[in-house]
Amino acid sequence: MKIAIIEAKKAEQKAEVPIGALLVAENEEILSETHNQTITLNDPTAHAEILALREGAQKTRNPRLLNTTLYVTIEPCLMCMGAIVHARISKLVFGAKDPKWGGAGSLYNLANDNRLNHKVEIIEGVCEEECRFLMQAFFRQKR
């Protein structure tokens, strides 16, 4: 999670929402580490999670990222959770909840929807205070 937090700080330096992500294989190889880049890339889908999945799929040459863990500083939104389920991520570890957009338990819980054919194990609250502080400080500055 510490690497994801470093990535979130990189996003903040670019005036992007400070969210970072890290995708790790079962053998602990880092497949990708990235941060939000929606403004930088002029791409509404360039969330940290989406970019991490894209890079991981390219690196493994497989759109199915089986037996991987995705670390994210903030609970993924619905778009990102949909992509996480499609990619067959085994485990999602996130820092702080997102009560307005969260797709992993706060607003919706796509990870455990019985209508979907893949379940994602979720671990929440890792480095929660630090992750929450980054977001709160960012939005305080914006206002």
Active-site positions read 49
Angle 78-86/48-60 helices, nearest 10 degrees? 20
Strands across the sheet containing 91-96: 30-35, 20-25, 68-74, 91-96, 121-124
Q: What is the CA 101 to chain-centroid distance, rounded?
A: 13
